[in-house]
A and B are shown apart, each in its own frame.
Chain A
Amino acid sequence: MDKLFTGKFLFTGLVFAGLALYPFIGSSYGLDLVSKIMIYAILAMSLELLVGSTGLVCFGQAAFFGIGAYIAVLFSPESESANLLWLLPASILAAAVYALFVGALSLRTKGVYFIMVTLAFAQMAYYVVHDTKLGGGTDGIYLYFKPILGSVLDLNNPKTLYFFTWVFLVWTFVFLAMLLRSHFGRVLAGIRINEQRMRASGFSTYPYKLAAFTTSGGIAGLAGFLFAVKDGFVNPEMMSWHLSGALLIMIILGGLGHLRGAIIGAFAFVFLQEFFKSSAIFGEFAKHWQLGLGFTIIACVALLPKGLVGLPEVLRKRLDGSRPRDAQVVLK
């Protein structure tokens, strides 16, 4: 148990501390960028709960994110700020309810079929906002007045929003970390490795998976809420499969099976994206940023099968020479 508080938790704690200090040195552009990454990190952690922890590859996470975002905008009054106290829970709840519905049906399938069914449900949500007047169609809608909490919290202020997001990033990490070591989380881990054995031991696995799916959807809704409030704008692209795909890449890049992998992956992905998009570095070639990003990701996955989380281990092996290390691992 003591080991928990050394190593990986120390690392995550330092990252959180660094993020808390960042607004005191960062530019307003930097503040916006890091806010965005923190929101993606929350979203990536919600997907990690399904993919890395339960073994359910969901290819429709963007839908829950988008629903959280659209609810935040649609439920805000046009000429004044909404109260945070009910708007935030409304976003989370709406996303969780859709996740409950999608999960209830899609969890009857497995493997590739599950991936495709979750994608189909996400595309359904996408086309509802894309092709109807409900959410402003392809143009999206603006959120003119960001939600407030009396005079305590005004999310119109970027710094307040930054810290607000930071609190939820830490909260999501702590909540999921505790969830994963609880009874519930251990069952999810068991389901990931061998669902048949879990059933034979006496676990009805379907309700467990559905609860995980709904929880994940709710957290994605929270991220969507934060994103809508940060940008003051929502559009259908937030629900597109490109985002669902990018999220999968984030958690794979960071390292599946580790919560901190989702956070690291979100940072790495957005930084790489910004890097390859930068015309200051790449000039004309910057418009082909996806090519560079793609090759880098392929290289990362090839060289780091456990993701960026596994980087220290790979480096240590390189430095020590691999043989003695391997022997130690086996003995442990």
Chain B
Amino acid sequence: MNWFRGSCAAGLVLIGASAAFGQIDSLVEQAQFVFKGTVLRINAATISEIQPDSRTLVVKVDEVLKNPPVRTNYTGREITVRLGDSTKLQPGSQFVFFTTSWMFGDSIAVREIGRQPDSAALRKQIAEELAKAPDVFVQRRLVGANLVLAGRVSAARAAPDKVRGGPPGEHDPDWWEAEIQVQSVQKGTHTDRTLVILFPNSTDIFWERSPKFRKDQEGIWILRMERAAGRPTSGYYMALQPEDFQPLDQLARIQRLVK
């Protein structure tokens, strides 16, 4: 459970008391929607089909601190919050709520994953974490990568039949090989001048976001030894997530994040 993830380690986070700010980074990262809100009603909901109980509240969104990637402005809206614990909140009380999506209907309902009293220090820390956000996904991929290198694609071709397996199904990755001329290694060890990696050439919904590589493409690859069940793909590095391929002009940034 993500609920107050840091609270177990740092002791109980008491609502209304100072929070352990060391936890805020993970809350900001995990929460899709962070806002300052005022509790309007307890045992209540803004979606009629939700059966209200002691953990459902109607909260007015006073100020959005982290907005989901949507155009809708939720400021001023009354929404339903499902508390992550059994704390009794009083109408009129104000908090910064860290939440994820729960229900979308005529209104919205969110699951709370953290709650803090508002303060200048808290806002400063949230702002700092949000400023780091563009790097978070890349950094997450870098942490688990086996090999990070910069280079140029010298050839792209369908993988050998033994890798591609039998007749393709609808969600088959349609494995292709990309041969990379290695220019520099940023993480891991690779001594050869070339490296052959595997990538899914399929445009099926499962694979359409995975990077596709073509001859003469330049960039930075964040590679893993992925497991592809049912296929003899062991020994291949792969870059399956959109963040696993970065433009070459991001090299300095990648070098900074790798450290």
Judge: A and B partners, yes or no. Answer: no
